[in-house]
Structure 1
Amino acid sequence: MESQRNILLIALLLVSFLIWQQWQTDKAPKPEPVLASQSGTDSSDAFVPESDLADGDIPATDAPVSAARRLVTITTDTLKLSIDTRGGDVVHAELLEHDDELNSDDKFVLLRNGTDFVHVAQSGLIGRDGPDARADGRPVYQAEQSAFELAADQDSLSVPMTYTNDQGVVFTKTFTLHRDQHLVEVSYRINNRSAEPVQAQLYAQLKQSEVDPDAEGGNALMASAYRGPAYSTTDTRYTKYDFQDVREANLNQTTEGGWVGMLQHYFVAAWIAPEQETNQLYSRARSNEGIIGFKAPLVDVAPGAEQTLTAKLWLGPKLQDEMAAAATNLDLTVDYGWLWFIAQPLFKLLQFLQGFVVNWGLAIVLTTFAVRGIMYPLTKAQYTSMAKMRMLQPKLVALRERYGDDRQKMSQGMMELYKKEKVNPLGGCLPILVQMPIFISLYWVLMESVELRHAPFFLWIDDLSVRDPYFVLPILMGASMFVIQKMSPTTVTDPMQQKVMQFMPIIFTFFFLWFPAGLTLYWLVSNVVTIAQQWYIFRQLEKKGLHSKAAS
């Protein structure tokens, strides 16, 4: 197996992978564009789930509310939230540590409630006495002021909002945010000042438009990151439940704990259900929107008693360590695909090295050195096998002349020759087969790891998660492939195959024009290390007389 055919194998595997990924992205039918009149701007005019009571106990919630409503703003060092006092929904969320675009003054907006796109986090109390089950619409909460901000000497900020029903029951919905965190605690304190028991049930859900008009168009040569619903149960650690699934069937899963989320590239919004309770996960399709949520168990609050119900809301980047601490399996939303068992260690290695060099580009370079160092025994076996195979060519030609079209005898003769000369015909393929999963895994690490978003390398490379703006790295990568091709011994005599091999560096350069700069950097450094290793191995083979004989 000569080097050129191995390169062709890489190309075929790579193209097949990209085509399969794009097919995965495009196979689902596209929903119709969202109309402004369908989405509206009223987050409270939304699906409210049935409680665990009999059907008919939950009246419609579309009736207008005459009470005044407003937005309450909560700002910490990491989050800026806007809460609609009607229902107490989070209708806008900015991530203050993340720019919308590189070097932009605007911050990344995770939740918003616009005319063309809706993504909001809703919660409430349903059941017989739940305020969100009222016949005249969802409750309008009262807050002491319209803006709250975490002070420099505070580690946490709690914002209570109250609503009192006609029976005198006081419902206090409190948002608690902590410094340097993306987790929001949302609690309901039910103070039953009435003479009758109060029965209520906590629910929380995420609503999102199926089509995002601001989403960047996917590149035909690049796999797209998943956007849509997902959930976790005790039986299923992490499952995507895309908008098509939501339209086709209502999710109905019962689990202890669990979470539901809306995923997108680098970021996630997720409701985390009470861990010690048995909760019901659900989904609904509404117009051109998808809804996924959970319901906690019904509770009874005796007259004169109080009870607090709590859920948690993650609003932030896909930071694996923080998400793992926030909820079981929430870190799996950093989806490395079916090669996660390779991607996870690669990311840990990247993260470890970055802690020393404080530069993600240098960490990629050092990771490449580590990977190629580990693979060196295979690389040495590859080039040794290539040299021995070249030496056997005259004997293989003689076998073909002797046996002609008798493939069985030809095969037997080749196997005896390989055994006699101690040559493994597959020795040149093994490093390629090992390297391809590593390449694909690193592709997903660079695609999914928010730490690399807007991470600079040096000079013109100011974002490793996007393509090289001047295409310098892809061109250098193609040139390094050309050098490897010229250094490698070959037995190809067919003119057509020779032309295909000559065009391989050009074809690969074209592919890599759109690849993330970090991935291209890895492949370029890997090629440079390969050139150095190849030069050293061939020198050792020349001392043994193998390379010179193979090249003669």
Structure 2
Amino acid sequence: MESQRSILIIGLLLVSFLLWIEYQEAYGPQPIESAEEIQQQNTQNTESSDGFVPQADTSALPQSLNTAETNAQRFVDVTTDTLHLTIDTIGGDVIATDLIKYPVTQGGDDAYQILTSEPATLYIAQSGLIGNQGTDLQSGRAQYSVPQGTYALDNDKEQLIVPLSVVTKDGIQVTKSFTFTRGSHAIDVSYIVNNTTSQVAQVQQYSQLKQTLTERSEGSMFMPTYRGAAYSTLEDKYEKYTFSDIQDERLNIATQGGWVGMLEHYFVSAWVPPQNETNSIYSALSNNAAIIGYKGQTVNIPAGETTTLSSILYIGPKDQGVLANIARGLDLTADYGILWWISQPLFALLKWIYGIVGNWGFAIIFTTIIVKGAMYWLTKKQYESMAKMRALQPKLQQLKDRFGDDKQKMSKGMMELYKKEKVNPMGGCFPMLLQMPIFMALYWVLLESVELRHAEFGLWISDLSVRDPWFVLPILTGASMFLLQRLQPMTIQDPMQQKIFQYMPVAMSIFFFFFPAGLVLYWLMSNIITLVQAKIIYASMEKRGLKTK
């Protein structure tokens, strides 16, 4: 039993350590660099293999869009049923986006803003055409014209198209169109390039996301969240690329398909190029802002002909089903960590149950019942092994009295006793350790899944994604852990270890004060089910003549 207690403690410490590692990776402080170092990196990282990384000149952006200039023709205001955004006619960039269906406060009308042109928190989506006859050159970016300054998706329409047009200095006609679809956060961005000249025109599509390096905290030690860049290639479905990575090393990867994105807790913005073409993924620094983007293949347009280029801009929640249909690996931006292979099936089960019961809290409860039911055989092995170990305690004490401090003889005698009685001393620990990954996997499901954001359970639990405001669930969880402990009579002789084990429910309850209410609800239900299972298992063992106390 002493070895079982020790391994339980080690398991709990391992969980804490893994949480701390994830916290440091996603939320920990980044090294501070001098202005000289940053300037040097800016010089080095803003050059690609062909000597050019497309970047917008954002120095002309207004300090705030709430100015008289907003009403000028330069800025286009677009509203759909899911998005409210602003397009800058210089370059045709998306410089502000509100997610209409995702309020900042639960039940409020304050839409969550993901893109912004505010200099302190700059975060914009840029795109254009480079190349010999491109719209965006080293000398400056295109100034598009637009038929009107305001667009809105009509109630009886499924799509809204916002066309921007320009004629380049070479006389090439370019129409850049944004196509919005009802109920969608994905925007089709296309270029119709009409080569009206007598020469072959060369253009290359590019798209990039640009975000200031200024830290914006979203998480906490017990709810760490990642804010930074990510990308996908044919070889790597999902790779995080932190702001410090962008500062340290320029990214330059050629791949078929792929995508680039910027992530925050529940939301993501991503550029998805044509998946059947070869694209070049790059990163850069510009004026204390991180850039990640892609460049497409160079396209030759014969004289008198027209070519269409396109990409997808997604700005919205990490809806895994939607993202998986847009591009391979884009659903992994709902980052479940190294246990994603457990988390994804758990989330699928959770979502399926929610579709039946219509309440995420009850979905968690029924998921717990199913998971614990599937693991009943492990729980049974655990308690039967623990009961056999308790039955051996008198014989183990006799060995201790016989050999005293001779650890070698004591160890040999214990092994012989275990072999004779057909008892595995680790049998009670292995089932407990198997449950740890499931706990961690569900932790990340409840932390990362946008479906649980502002999800109401009932009574005082109005949001399962944040901690219990009255700490009722953590206290009940601690009490259930205490009752579980009472089912396992204390056999540890060392007074210090006894105290550690006795106060473990109290320590865990304090941890649970900071966990999302949904996770604590899962743990509480798991403990209650374990208590019921333990009673059933003990009753069965007593019928078979096995001592349980």
**Same fold, TM exceeding 0.5?**
yes
Please tell me the residue identity of whatever aligns with 2:486: K
CA distance in 1, matches of 2:377, 2:270: 45
TM-superposed CA distance for 1:196, in Å, is 2.4
- Which residue does the alignment assign to 1:460? 460
Distance (whole Å) between structure 2 residues aligned to residue 469 and residue 27 of structure 1? 26
CA distance in structure 2 between the aligned counterparts of 1:231 and 1:481, rounded to whole angstroms: 42
User: Alignment partner for residue 180 of structure 1, among 180, 183, 192?
Assistant: 183
Residue 156 of structure 1 is matched in structure 2 by 159
Q: 2:430: which partner in 1? A: 430
1:477 Cα shift? 0.5
Cross-structure match for 1:17: 18
Could you say what secondary structure the match of 1:131 adopts? coil
Residues 4-403 of structure 1: matches in 2 within 5 Å?
Answer: 5=6, 7-25=8-26, 29-31=30-32, 55=51, 70-133=74-137, 135=139, 137-213=140-216, 215-216=217-218, 218-220=219-221, 222-403=222-403
Post-superposition offset of 1:198: 1.8
What are the Cα deviations for residues 121-179 of structure 1, in whole angstroms up to 9, with x where unaligned?
Answer: 000111111121062x2111111111111111211111111011234321110000111
Q: CA deviation at 1:476?
A: 0.6
The Cα shift of 1:514 comes to: 0.6
Structure 1 105/311 Cα, relative in aligned 2: closer, same or farther at 3 Å? same
Deviates most, 262-271 or 56-65: 56-65
Post-superposition CA distance 1:296-345 (Å, at most 9, x none) = 11112222211111111111111111111111111111111111111111
Q: How does 1:524-535 map to 2 (within 5 A)?
A: 524-535=524-535
Contact 2:365 2:521 in 1 (8 A): yes
CA positional deviation for 1:430:
1.4
> How far has the Cα of 1:498 moved from its partner?
1.9
Deviation at 1:456, TM superposition (A): 0.8
Tell me the alpha carbon deviations over residues 234-281 of structure 1, each in whole angstroms, 9 at most, x when there is no partner.
111111111111111110000111100001111110000111211111
CA contact (8 A) 1:4 1:490 kept: no
Cα distance change on mapping 1:458 and 1:490 into 2, 3 Å = same
**Alpha-carbon distance in structure 2 between the residues aligned to 1:202 and 1:102:** 40
Q: What letter corresponds to residue 122 of structure 1 in structure 2? A: Q
SS in 1 for 2:133: coil
CA distance 1:186–1:48, change in 2 (3 Å): farther
> Residue 129 of structure 2 aligns to which amino acid in structure 1?
L
Q: Take 2:208 and 2:418, find their aligned partners in 1: how far apart are those partners?
A: 64
Offset of 1:360 from its aligned partner? 0.8
Give TM-score, length-normalised by structure 2.
0.91
> Structure 2, unaligned stretches of length 5 or more?
62-68
Deviation at 1:49, TM superposition (A): 7.6
Runs of 5+ unmatched residues, structure 1: 39-46
**Structure 2 CA distance for partners of 1:60 and 1:94, relative to 1, 3 Å:** closer
What is the alpha-carbon distance in structure 1 between the residues aligned to residue 270 and residue 103 of structure 2?
A: 21
Counterpart secondary structure, 2:503 = helix
- The one-letter code sitting in structure 2 at the alignment partner of 1:419 is K
Q: Is the 8 A contact 2:251 2:282 kept in 1?
A: yes
Cα distance in 2, alignment partners of residues 196 and 63 from structure 1? 34
> Which whole-Å deviations, capped at 9, do the CAs of 1:385-419 have from their partners, x for residues lacking one?
11111111111122223333443333232122112
- 1:146–1:212 Cα change, 3 Å: farther
CA distance in 2, matches of 1:32, 1:190: 43
What is the rounded CA distance, in whole Å, between the counterparts of 1:272 and 1:266 in structure 2? 19
Amino acid at match of 1:235: E
Q: 1:4 to 1:405 in 2, by over 3 A?
A: closer
Aligned partners of 2:54, 2:356: CA distance in 1, in Å?
58
CA contact under 8 A between 1:51 and 1:201: conserved in structure 2?
Answer: no
Alpha-carbon offset, residue 201 of structure 1:
1.0
Measured at CA, do residues 312 and 50 of structure 1 come closer, stay the same or move farther in structure 2, by a change above 3 Å? farther
Question: Given the superposition, is the C-alpha separation of residues 108 and 55 from structure 1 closer, same or farther in structure 2, using an over 3 Å criterion?
Answer: closer
Residues 1:32 and 1:180: Cα distance change in structure 2 (over 3 Å): farther
Return the TM-score normalized by structure 1. Answer: 0.91
Aligned counterparts of 1:81 and 1:238: Cα–Cα separation in 2: 28
2:123 and 2:59 map into 1 onto residues whose CA distance is 22
CA distance in 1, matches of 2:400, 2:321: 60
Asked if 1 retains the 8 angstrom alpha-carbon contact of 2:213 and 2:290, the reply is yes
Q: How has the CA–CA distance of structure 1 residues 147 and 61 changed in structure 2, closer, same or farther, with 3 Å as cutoff?
A: closer
1:60–1:488 Cα change, 3 Å: closer
Give me the whole-angstrom Cα distance separating, in 2, the residues matched to 1:405 and 1:185.
Answer: 76
Distance, in Å, in 1 between the alignment partners of 2:406 and 2:45 is: 74
Task: Quote the offset at 1:32 in angstroms.
Answer: 7.5
Q: Percent identity?
A: 49
> Contact 1:81–1:92 at 8 Å: present in 2 too?
yes
* Residues 59/176 of structure 1: CA separation in 2 closer, same or farther (3 Å cut): closer
Confirm whether residue 473 of structure 1 aligns to residue 473 of structure 2: yes
Is the CA contact 1:323–1:331 (under 8 Å) kept in the aligned structure 2?
A: yes
Q: Deviations over 1:480-535 (max 9, x none)?
A: 11111122222123222222122111101100001000000000001111111112
Q: Secondary structure at the match of 1:482?
A: helix
Q: After superposing the two structures, state which structure 1 stretch, 527-536 or 397-406, moved more.
A: 397-406
Give 1:4 deviation, angstroms: 5.3
Bigger drift between 392-401 and 12-21 goes to: 12-21
Q: 1:458 to 1:60 in 2, by over 3 A?
A: closer
Q: 1:226 and 1:55, CA in 2 relative to 1: closer, same or farther beyond 3 A?
A: closer
Over 3 Å counting, the alpha-carbon distance change for 1:520 and 1:58 in structure 2 is closer
Q: SS in structure 2 opposite 1:457?
A: coil
Aligned partner of residue 136 in structure 2, secondary structure = helix
Whichever residue aligns with residue 116 of structure 1, its letter is A
**Matched residue, 2:501:** 501
TM-superposed CA distance for 1:29, in Å, is 2.4
Shift of 1:119: 0.7
Shift of 1:465: 0.7
Conserved? CA contact 1:69–1:86, under 8 Å: no
After superposition, the Cα gap between the structure-2 partners of 1:32 and 1:101, relative to the gap in structure 1 and judged at 3 Å, is: farther
Q: Are 1:59 and 1:133, in contact at CA under 8 Å, matched by a contact in 2?
A: no
Q: Distance in 1 between matches of 2:443 and 2:59?
A: 50
**Cα deviation, residue 438, structure 1:** 0.4
